[in-house]
Amino acid sequence: MNNQPTCFINKNFETIPFVEIILPYTECFLEDLKLELSDDVKEKLHLELLKELSTLSEIVLQESLDSFVQEGNAGIEVFTVKMKQSVAIDFPVLDHLLKQKTANFSRHISKILDRFNSDYENMKAIFKINDAKIVDIDASLGDGHNGEGTALIYLSDETKLIYKPRNINLTNSYNIFINWINQKLKLDLKTFQALDCGEYGWLEFVNNEEIISENDLEEYYHKAGVLLAAVYLLGSKDCHRENVIASGKNPVIIDHETIIQPFLSNRLINNSWDDQCKIPNLSVLENALIVNDDTGVPIHFAGYGVRNNLQLTELEKRIINPNTINSKRVTRFLFTKIVENNVPQFKGDYIFPTNYKKSFLEGFSVAYDLFSNYKEELKSFNSPLAAFKNQEVRYIWRPTFIYFKILKFMRTAALMSSLEVYNAKLGELLSKAYIGQNMETYNFIYDFELKQMINGDIPIFSLNSRDHSLNCNESLKIFEFDCIENIERRIDAISPEHKSEQLEFINRWINIKGN
């Protein structure tokens, strides 16, 4: 890497904290960028990468700058040259992560371009595209894993596609089930096209669109109730606000990687996430489309939102006066918009189900009753749910936000200065979840978590929908019910009493007042 001072900084980069120090790490990315992308797109992707590297390194670099000033030094240029020469020596963990993230991001973009070209003929018919090429990429969507994440692809014919670096055949299975519901109830719940290519896939982009009439609002919330019943039956997880799109008169769940899930064995697990949050088993609260305020799930997680809960106010450290000797990390209020694409808009206002309670409850009830009336078909060989058998499913041992918090905590100078210290602290934080448990039972999960997080990744397991174990220890039956058995037990749980209980959960969600 070049350790000389940067003579010219792109104006778009000037507000990125410590940009001159991290710029040399992106040299390999710039060298690897495909020529077929325009200069504007290359600059945009470079900007995304620099922002991510800055976020990763700003705590370490600001602590170093504070020490530099306290020692009586002055001049940001002197500090910049010094850090360019010493980051790899003084902070080997940070140096490793910066190099790794850059290489991963470069590989990620290259794969998107190569795979688009190789899949183009198959994509033409499915997505109705013709003589189109990639003109822009938004690679900052969703959770990254192994250096790759969800990306939004813009084509020259104005088509937009979603690229996912993992198997997406669950979307096709989900569409089969939704189409069965549509046929039985004479509805038109929205589905979207998918091209599964094994270890990755392409999805039709779902646009966020405003409602155009009050009748459409009634239809929207009727369908929202139907979808809630559907994801209850599937045992879905993680249908939070970022995974729901209000597309005109259609609510759409856009991420299907956890749309079916296995059920943990109570014999092995004493304190699962659902137990900690007091989420009732076999309930509509498990999927996070709706929440109740007497559980431990934050109400801003709700996929369908919560009335009047429009933004989240948090305290967060931010850099002020970046790239000057007066740079500081200060605590500021951070206002995050938590209602956006997931709640329908009408005449510029977000519309919650308060005035459409009847439509929502009716939608849920007709779908629930449908499942009750067709129990035998749903469990038969010809069931629309049979498409979920032997599908690849993602399983996350703890909620992703917990992993993110741990990784964020690890970004200090003291921890980044030694790989041994870093690994020991990471292991200490991860092991706290197993206190009071039989640690020998969980060693393989702990080891998997530690290995993934050392590389800066969120630990994600991949399993077959018929598996009772995780892929890193197939000898231990950790799931009492596999994904398909979990669906069957949900079908068996359907009853008038169970339905009444779910309607009460729905009513309590609708009546939450929010902020």
- Longest CA span, the chain: 78
Structural domain includes residue 37? yes
Query: Could you tell me which of 320, 388, 476, 341 has the C-alpha nearest to residue 170?
Result: 388
Q: What is the pLDDT of residue 433?
A: 78
Exposed/middle/buried for residue 210 (C-beta within 10 Å: 0-12, 13-18, 19+) = middle
- The values of phi and psi at residue 502, to 5°, are -70, -40
Same structural domain, 305 and 438: no
Report the distance separating Cα 52 and Cα 117, nearest Å: 28
Report whether 63 contacts 412 (CB < 8 A). Answer: yes
CA distance linking residue 461 with residue 424, whole number of Å: 23
Shared domain check, 506 and 407: no
Helix, strand or coil for residue 514?
coil
Are 149 and 139 in contact, with CB atoms under 8 Å apart?
Answer: yes
Residue in 312, 314, 255 with CA at minimum distance from that of residue 289? 255
pLDDT of residue 2: 43
The distance from CA 427 to its chain's CA centroid, rounded to whole angstroms, is: 24
Together in a domain, 28 and 94: yes
DSSP string, 256-305: -TTSS--EE-TTT-SS-HHHHTTPPTTSTTTTSSS--TTSSS-GGG-TT-
Which parts of 249-399 fold into alpha helices (H)?
273-276, 357-373, 375-378
Examine the domain organization and report whether 92 and 15 are in the same domain: yes
Are residues 378 and 412 both part of a single domain?
no
Structural domain for 451, as ranges: 400-458
Closest CA to 200 of 114, 273, 283: 114
Q: In whole angstroms, give the CA distance from residue 247 to residue 190.
A: 9
The answer to whether residue 60 is domain-embedded is yes
Flag whether 5 is in a domain: no
Does residue 375 lie in a domain region?
yes
Supply 151's token pair.
């990306």
- Six-digit token string for 349: 């206002």
Report how many domains make up the chain.
3
- Is 506 part of any domain? yes
If asked whether residues 235 and 377 sit together in one domain, one would say: yes
Phi, psi of 209 (to 5 degrees): -135, 145
As to burial, measured by CB atoms within 10 angstroms (0-12 exposed, 13-18 middle, 19+ buried), residue 203 is buried
* 36 contacts 113 by C-beta, under 8 angstroms: yes
Parallel, antiparallel or unpaired: strands 250-253 and 461-464 = unpaired
Burial environment of residue 154 by CB neighbours within 10 A (0 to 12, 13 to 18, 19 or more): middle
Instruction: Judge residue 266's burial from the number of C-beta atoms within 10 Å of its C-beta, 0-12 exposed, 13-18 middle, 19 or more buried.
Output: exposed
Does any domain span residue 161?
Answer: no
Domain boundary among 132, 149, 173: 132
pLDDT 10s digit of each residue in the chain, 515 long?
A: 444 334 345 777 889 999 999 999 998 888 888 778 999 999 999 999 999 999 999 999 999 999 999 999 989 999 999 999 999 999 999 999 999 999 999 999 999 999 999 999 999 999 999 899 999 999 875 556 666 889 999 999 999 999 999 999 999 999 999 999 999 999 999 999 999 999 999 999 999 999 999 999 999 999 999 999 999 999 999 999 999 999 999 999 999 999 999 998 776 665 666 777 789 999 999 999 999 999 988 899 999 999 988 888 888 899 999 999 999 999 988 888 889 899 999 999 999 999 999 999 999 999 999 999 999 999 999 999 999 999 999 998 888 888 999 999 999 999 999 999 999 999 999 988 777 666 677 788 889 999 999 988 889 899 999 999 987 677 788 899 999 999 999 999 999 999 999 999 999 999 998 66
326 found inside a domain: yes
Count of beta carbons in the 10 Å neighbourhood of residue 212: 12
Pairing between β-strand 250-253 and β-strand 244-247 as defined by DSSP bridges: antiparallel
Asked whether residue 441 falls in the same domain as residue 494, the answer is: no
Beta bridge partners of 463: 393
Q: Does 143 map to a domain?
A: no
Spatial separation of the C-alpha atoms in residues 45 and 147, rounded to whole Å: 14
Residues 406, 387: one domain? no
Q: Tell me which of 110, 132, 154 is where a domain ends.
A: 132
Answer with the one of 132, 160, 178 that is the final residue of a domain.
132
Task: Verify that 384 and 500 share a domain, yes or no.
Answer: yes
Question: Is residue 309 domain-shared with residue 359, that is, in the same domain?
Answer: yes
Instruction: State the Cα–Cα distance between residues 198 and 167, nearest whole angstrom.
Output: 5
Q: What 8-state DSSP symbol labels residue 33?
A: S
Q: Which residues contact 390 (CB under 8 A, 6 or more apart)?
A: 464, 465, 466
Q: What is the Cα–Cα distance from 300 to 288, expressed in whole angstroms?
A: 10
| Residue 333 and residue 259 share a domain | yes
Same domain, 227 and 249: yes
CA 253 centroid distance within chain: 13
Distance CA 412, CA 422 (A): 10
- Comparing CA positions, the residue from 2, 79, 160 lying closest to residue 327 is 79
Integer angstrom CA distances of residue 243 from 71, 234, 239, 307 = 49, 16, 6, 18
